[in-house]
Amino acid sequence: MAALTDAAADATRLPAAAPDGADARLIAGRGTPEPDWLRAAWLRALPEAAPDALLGDARRLVVVAPHPDDEVLGAGGLMALAAARGLPVRVLALTDGERCYPTLPGAARASLARIRRVELHRALERLGVASGGVEHLRLPDGGLQAAGAALALRIHRLLQPRDLVLTTWRRDGHPDHEAAAAAVADAAGRAGCRRMEFPVWGWHWAHPDGRDLPVADMRRLPLDRPTRARKLWALRAFASQLGRGSAMPAAAEPILPRWVLARFRRDFETFVL
């Protein structure tokens, strides 16, 4: 099938030094500190792309998010810039991220799912994205690998020609993020849509010298001050991930502690073409 061929072709574009073992993409501890990334010469030297160059002739920007917050973390700036240009922005929220605190019992998980849906709507409002821009697929958090081809079919049904489709990076290290990327590659390929990916957990486990990242295919989108401010305001909507509010267990660490959030407070975003 064409989608498999696309995926295989894309995989060969990864640098030869990219690790193949899952262990190399382990998400543990505090990960690569943000100051190491900011000192990385290759990251500073990435080719810059203006918003209009990235958006091209797209009629809609569609962001496929494995969990609510991935879209703002990786692409909140570009979403705000697209919305400011009058481009319709849509989010496909694949899961509600209800298993982010594994010790939560079932009833509390259902409540967390509701809270995370509300947080996502608030965040999108803060980016300037029109209400009604979200489709919640309510797939099980942690279950996207198992969804397989059905996930690509569901995404494909929601795409239109001339959509620009964004999702998490195909080697991001989180199984849901990698499944989302594979499904988007399949769906967008068949719909004839252009697509781009953004690292989220990749910034956590990858080496700051760039050996693990597809550097040759990455572009840097500078965020002006108002756009960055909008993105930071939108990120503050995810209280359940930041350790605020009543939705997380008392003893749990927030999913987005200060050292993780630092990677998404940059005055630029990076996209894999």
Residues that bind Zn ion (CB under 5 A): 66-67, 70
Which residue type does 207 have?
H
Greatest alpha-carbon span in the chain: 48
Q: What angle do the packed helices 225-235 and 70-84 form, to 10 degrees?
A: 140
Q: For the CB of residue 255, give the shortest distance to Zn ion in the complex, in Å.
A: 9
Query: Which segments of 96-242 are extended strands (E)?
Result: 134-139, 163-168, 194-198, 218-222
Question: Which tokens hold the place of 186?
Answer: 């399949």
Helix (H, G, I), strand (E, B) or coil at 93: strand
Minimum CB–partner distance for residue 200 and Zn ion (Å)? 6
- CB atoms under 10 Å from CB of 13, counted, come to 11
Query: Least distance to Zn ion from the beta carbon of 29, Å?
Result: 18
Give residue number: closest CB to Zn ion.
67
CB of 74 to Zn ion, least distance (A): 9
Q: Give me the sign of the Cα torsion angle 228, 230, 236, 238.
A: negative
